[in-house]
Amino acid sequence: MNNTSSIGVAVIGAGMAGKAHAAGYRSATAVFGDNLPEIRLVSIADAYEPLAVEVAKRFGFARHDTSWQAIVDADDIDVVSVVVANALHREIVEALLAAGKHVLCEKPLAGSIADAEAMVDAAASSDAVARIGLTYLRSPGIAFLGDLVRSGRLGKFINFDGEYWTDYACDPNGPISWRFKGAPGSGALADVGSHLSYIAELFGGPIASVRGGTLHTTFDTRPKPVGRVIGHEHAEVSAEREVVENDDVAGFFVDFADGGTGSLQVSRVAAGHPNTLKFEVFCERGTAAFDFRKPGQVEVTLLGDEHDLAGPRTVTLGPAHPYWSGGLAMDACGVGIGQNDGFVFQARAFLEEVAGVAESESLPRNADFAEGLHNMLLLDAVARSARGGGTEVSIPDAASLVLS
């Protein structure tokens, strides 16, 4: 834990998600009270220097760096978010932990199961705080429904049905990038399926096995960019094309260790759906539904309502729900909420843990690396199911895992 009067923060990776982490740290001291030490925004690091300069200036960081090694060596940095390509996570995180720095790593945890296992070991051997960002768990609507279902107010859990559709890869002439490289299962499944699967486990508990795994690549090749590709942005491309190695669409069924089933489908080529995350949870005494296109509300159906009033009721989120009171500048019922707020709540929880602030029910800790490894084992099981024509595949650690 940090025992000094201030905490120095850096972000490695200045792309789309890196900006979200930077903004989260900048706003973290403005929510949930004043029990943090001084937070110093020190550096944004990115190999592409113009981007590092731009993001550091935009979010109020004191300087920029062009290598992650500079962050490892810096004496004035205590906390680091790692927001780069998955395959780079292990080397960077291990070096940061060895230097005694606290690490918040983006999901998926690593580029391979072996790397993820090594990162879990490195975290266990370090006195530093090592956490993974499962940002959607910080959405007030999702967190509220998770509490509602797990408390038993809707009765025993039966089934989860979820979709996460995006369209950032709809254009067959969109440039190739690291997102389109890697083994089957490292595409849409790893990118957005990782989110949907940990959300499913919020309601049903650890997933014990998967079956019916399918992976599909819609566009087999993509053009090479002329310059640098940042996030999901389009860029000028050349006539030369490269092979797409992973999946544009994925789907699978799950069986939960404590009973209940689920169906999950994800896509990065769903035209007209830039960021559609939606799900419905079915229980013995009712259902709960969420659509991230309307993040300020949820729907709940309660069996036993009078017949002429039966059906889903819309609940507008407000101070009675997670993260709302004190987490928003204007925290009255019905004000706007979105994905960016989740990064603020995530950063706040991480900084509080580093500072040694006692955990509260309103701001639980972020997930540890073991949960990140479990998420990767789950996705790997889906890829193995797909290779086996949809065969059932067990998740190795499900029986012993305790999820946050």
> pLDDT tens, 87-102?
999 999 999 999 999 9
Contact 8, 42 (CB under 8 A): yes
pLDDT > 90? residue 228: no
Kindly report the CATH number that applies to the domain delimited by 137-336+364-394.
Answer: 3.30.360.10
370: how many CB neighbours lie within 10 A of its CB? Answer: 22
Closest C-alpha to 246, from 196, 193, 179, 174? 179
Looking at residue 190, the DSSP 8-state letter turns out to be: I
pLDDT digits (tens, 9 = 90+) for 104-116: 999 999 999 999 9
- For the chain, the structural domain boundaries read 6-133, 137-336+364-394
CA 25 to CA 6: how far, in whole Å? 14
pLDDT in the model for residue 306:
75
pLDDT > 70? residue 261: yes
pLDDT digits (tens, 9 = 90+) for 364-377: 999 999 999 999 99
Provide, rounded to the nearest whole percent, the portion of the chain with pLDDT above 90: 90
pLDDT digits (tens, 9 = 90+) for 21-61: 999 999 999 999 899 999 999 999 999 999 999 999 999 99
Contact 238, 226 (CB under 8 A): yes
CA 295 to CA 224: how far, in whole Å? 36
Contact 83, 12 (CB under 8 A): yes
Can you give the length of the chain in residues? 404
pLDDT in the model for residue 401:
65
pLDDT > 80? residue 3: no
pLDDT in the model for residue 353:
97
* Average pLDDT, rounded, for the chain: 94
pLDDT in the model for residue 193:
97
Is 137-336+364-394 the same fold as 6-133? Answer: no
CA 298 to CA 368: how far, in whole Å? 28
- Mean pLDDT, residues 378-388: 97
Which CATH superfamily, name and number, covers 6-133? NAD(P)-binding Rossmann-like Domain (3.40.50.720)
At 384, which helix (H) or strand (E)? helix 369-387
pLDDT in the model for residue 88:
96
Sheet holding 367-368, edge to edge: 63-65, 38-45, 6-12, 79-82, 102-106, 130-133, 367-368
Model confidence band, residue 402 (pLDDT cutoffs 50, 70, 90): low
98: how many CB neighbours lie within 10 A of its CB? Answer: 13
pLDDT > 70? residue 400: no
pLDDT > 70? residue 2: no
SS3 (DSSP) at 62: coil
pLDDT in the model for residue 399:
55
pLDDT > 80? residue 154: yes
pLDDT > 80? residue 335: yes
SS3 (DSSP) at 320: coil
